[in-house]
Amino acid sequence: MPSLLTQASLNETVDVMIRQNRAMEEIPEVASVVGKAGRADSPLDPAPVGMIETVITLKPEDTWREGVTSDSILTLLRRSVRMPGIAPSWLQHIETRIVMLQSGIVTSIGLEIRGDDADQLERVAIAAEELLSEIPGAVNVQALRTTRRPYLEVSVDRIAAGDHGLTVNGVLSALRGALSGTVATSVLNGRERIPVRVRYTRENRDEPGDIGDIYIPGHMGSLCSCPRWHRWKRWTDRR
């Protein structure tokens, strides 16, 4: 059950899951690999977007290569999916559910650190990770790095917007639709209604500097872009 940082998008999570599945499938003793990214369609599943659940099925033991054991297969699996910024945990799927219900974390032993300073907590957790990794028998020691998340703060220049016949609400609504999307319609799937969101393509909204190229409906229905309004763009990392 690997977990990505909170900054990871759904597309990035799915891409990581696909790459890890392909890497694990190259091990001869692996029969199949099935991954699930994000949360299941159930109110009982609190998993975030960056959590991946992967079920690995091994081939019959009598078909394994000579000298290969369960421990050696697990070692190969760990090496094949090692990626920066991803915290893996290796448990049986039924064991995973029981452990999470008992402790709230996917591990048999966990260290909980409390405090009111997020920066200090992160430094202490990373230092503890390095110390615990040196203990004989300790594997998959990972500190949860969940305190950082990117936000885009927008402060509209009211005078510049007024010169173009724009209102603050109109500018923010246009930016919200271009970046996060606007529900245009819904699709029926049996009794379920699935909303369809429309927004700019990723290459047109991936960087904060792309905001200046977003077209905003102005007075009398005219469209205007705001390339010179860079003073009201700011990329921050809020805690």
| pLDDT exceeds 80 at position 60 | yes
| pLDDT exceeds 70 at position 216 | yes
Chain segment 73-89, per-residue pLDDT in tens: 988 988 888 887 777 77
What Rg do the C-alpha atoms of the chain give, in angstroms? Answer: 24
Are 27 and 91 within one domain? yes
At 104 the pLDDT is 60
At 230 the pLDDT is 45
Mean pLDDT of 136-140: 78
Instruction: Please say which residue of 101, 127, 147 terminates a domain.
Output: 147
Q: Which long-range contacts (CB under 8 A, 24 or more apart) does 203-210 make?
A: 205/178, 205/179, 208/152, 208/233, 208/234, 208/235, 209/233
Are 80 and 16 within one domain? yes
Domain range enclosing 204: 151-238
Mean pLDDT of 145-173: 75
The rounded distance, in Å, linking the Cα atoms of 17 and 152 is 27
Residues with Cβ < 8 Å from 157, sequence gap 6 or more?
Answer: 229, 231, 232
Query: For the chain, what is the domain count?
Result: 3
Are 97 and 136 within one domain? no
| pLDDT exceeds 50 at position 19 | yes
Identify the CATH number of the domain in which residue 201 sits: 3.30.2090.10
Identify the CATH number of the domain in which residue 15 sits: 3.30.70
Are 96 and 187 within one domain? no
H/E segment holding residue 149: strand 149-154
Are 79 and 9 within one domain? yes
| pLDDT exceeds 50 at position 39 | yes
